[in-house]
């Protein structure tokens, strides 16, 4: 057998190259609650329009239970509001009781479980879960905690509804029951036209708010506070909030919906349910979730590569290039990249034990831009006889 003769030309060798990191979706939502029907396929699939929702989950007729109890189709109304306000992709988790009793935390957890592994979901809500809050606050609060726990566990953000027909003092008490950087509370409920009856119906605000999140993400970016934004399809609020109550509720981290002269019905507030000042704002928490998830998913190429300086340098460069892009878009503070973020991936971030056990550890710090909640003018009087 003749010796193997290589092809003409030099044989080039080179180190592996990283893949640029792409931002993960931030506006895909998931709603959990009661619907008329459920899809036949167990595999979660998104709906992209109201008509798509109706084909799989039913229409807007009242839900009628075996004991004769009737409730509005809150999930359908929420889907309408979501798509009208800018939402594009929505997953639905059907939670249903054959007896008409309120959903339990276990019901919600079981319904949400199939969505745990759907990576694109970034926002979750449970339209209708807080109906009747004032009648049974303990049970309703347990449902809210279940949704907040889900959001924290799978790194999503929860939009929490106030109870229906709650006075300002009632929603303040409700807010005091929770402390989480993974959710925000909105008040009050919203009036919208019901095309099935021709009458107005009062619905939870979460469908509108999730749509607003999606619209702001698309138009400005996840780092923009989702506030001072119009509620499309809303025709009114369940109650108007006096200015004195508005200030108090904002300070208590209740995000109010209000009518602003000349601008209509707006989301007025962007605070989380956290008592930690570092996680005070919705956009800061959602930005960090976006960065965290994007970096995690975008560096999967590094798995099983040799864990040494060439790999560390490639990971640093990939992360830095991604964060420079976010800084240029306005997501991060600072006049220069080194004021906006840092990335470390070297011997200072990993011990020999980490290396021996195949762990690559990268430390990233970012300086998010925080919203201007108040615009303050200091006005003085300038008299005619004042000398320059």
What mean pLDDT comes out for the span 363-380? Answer: 88
What pLDDT is stored for residue 373 in this prediction? Answer: 80
What pLDDT is recorded for position 17?
Answer: 64
Amino acid 123: pLDDT: 98
For 54-98, write each residue's pLDDT tens digit.
999 999 999 998 888 889 999 999 999 999 999 999 999 999 887
Residue 211 has pLDDT above 50, yes or no: yes
359 or 8: which carries more pLDDT confidence? 359
Query: What's the rounded mean pLDDT across residues 135-158?
Result: 97
Top-confidence residue, 75 or 19: 75
Q: What is the pLDDT of residue 6?
A: 47
**Cβ–Cβ under 8 Å, residues 179 and 273:** yes
Indicate if the pLDDT at residue 1 is higher than 50. no
Higher pLDDT, 159 or 70: 159
Using CB atoms within 10 A of its CB, is residue 210 exposed (0-12), middle (13-18) or buried (19+)? buried
Check pLDDT > 70 for residue 18.
no
Q: What is the per-residue pLDDT for 158?
A: 98
Q: What is the mean predicted confidence (pLDDT) over 28-38?
A: 96
Per-residue pLDDT at 140 exceeds 80: yes
Task: Give tens-digit pLDDT for 111-135.
Answer: 999 999 999 999 999 999 999 999 9
Please write down the long-range contacts of 324-330, taking CB distance under 8 Å and 24 or more positions apart: 326/23, 326/223, 326/291, 326/366, 329/221, 329/223, 330/221, 330/223, 330/369
> How many percent of the chain have pLDDT more than 90?
84
Task: Report d(CA 309, CA 330) in Å as an integer.
Answer: 31
Q: What percent of the chain has pLDDT over 70?
A: 94
Model pLDDT, residue 19: 84
pLDDT in tens, 242-301: 989 999 999 999 999 999 999 999 999 999 999 999 999 999 999 999 999 999 999 999
| Domains, the chain | 28-284 (3.40.50.11780), 310-388 (no CATH)
Predicted confidence (pLDDT) per residue in 307-327, tens digit: 999 999 999 999 999 999 999
């Amino acid at each position: 057998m003749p010796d193997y003769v290589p092809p003409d030309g030099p044989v080039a060798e080179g180190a592996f190259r990283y893949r640029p990191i792409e931002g993960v979706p931030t506006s895909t939502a998931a709603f959990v609650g009661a619907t008329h029907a459920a899809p036949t396929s167990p595999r979660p699939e998104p709906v992209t329009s109201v008509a798509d929702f109706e084909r799989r989950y039913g229409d807007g007729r009242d839900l009628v239970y075996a004991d004769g109890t009737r409730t509005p189709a809150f999930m359908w109304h929420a889907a309408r509001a979501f798509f009208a306000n800018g939402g594009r992709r929505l997953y639905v988790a059907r939670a249903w009781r054959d007896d008409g009793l309120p959903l339990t935390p276990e019901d919600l957890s079981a319904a949400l479980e199939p969505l745990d592994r759907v990576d694109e979901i970034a926002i979750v809500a449970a339209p209708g879960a807080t109906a009747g809050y004032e009648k049974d606050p303990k049970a309703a609060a347990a449902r809210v905690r279940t949704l907040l726990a889900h959001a924290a566990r799978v790194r999503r953000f929860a939009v929490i509804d106030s109870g229906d027909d709650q006075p300002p003092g009632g929603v303040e008490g409700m807010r005091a029951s929770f402390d989480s950087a993974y959710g925000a509370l909105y008040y009050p409920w919203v009036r919208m036209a019901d095309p099935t009856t021709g009458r107005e119906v009062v619905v939870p605000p979460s469908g509108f708010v999730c749509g607003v999140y999606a619209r702001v993400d698309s138009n400005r970016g996840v780092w923009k506070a989702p506030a001072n934004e119009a509620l499309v399809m809303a025709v009114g609020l369940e109650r108007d909030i006096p200015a004195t109550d508005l200030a108090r509720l904002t300070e208590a981290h209740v995000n109010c919906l209000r009518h602003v002269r000349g601008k209509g019905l707006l989301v007025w507030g962007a605070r989380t349910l956290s008592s930690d000042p570092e996680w005070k704002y919705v956009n800061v928490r959602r930005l960090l979730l976006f960065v965290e998830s994007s970096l995690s998913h975008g560096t999967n190429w590094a798995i099983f590569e040799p864990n040494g300086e060439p790999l560390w340098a490639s990971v640093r460069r990939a992360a830095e290039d991604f964060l420079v892009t976010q800084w240029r878009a306005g997501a991060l503070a600072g006049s220069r990249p080194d004021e906006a973020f840092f990335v470390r991936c070297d011997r200072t971030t990993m011990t020999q034990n980490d290396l021996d056990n195949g762990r690559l550890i990268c430390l990233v710090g970012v300086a998010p831009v925080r919203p201007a909640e108040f615009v303050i003018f200091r006005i003085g009087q300038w008299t005619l006889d004042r000398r320059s």
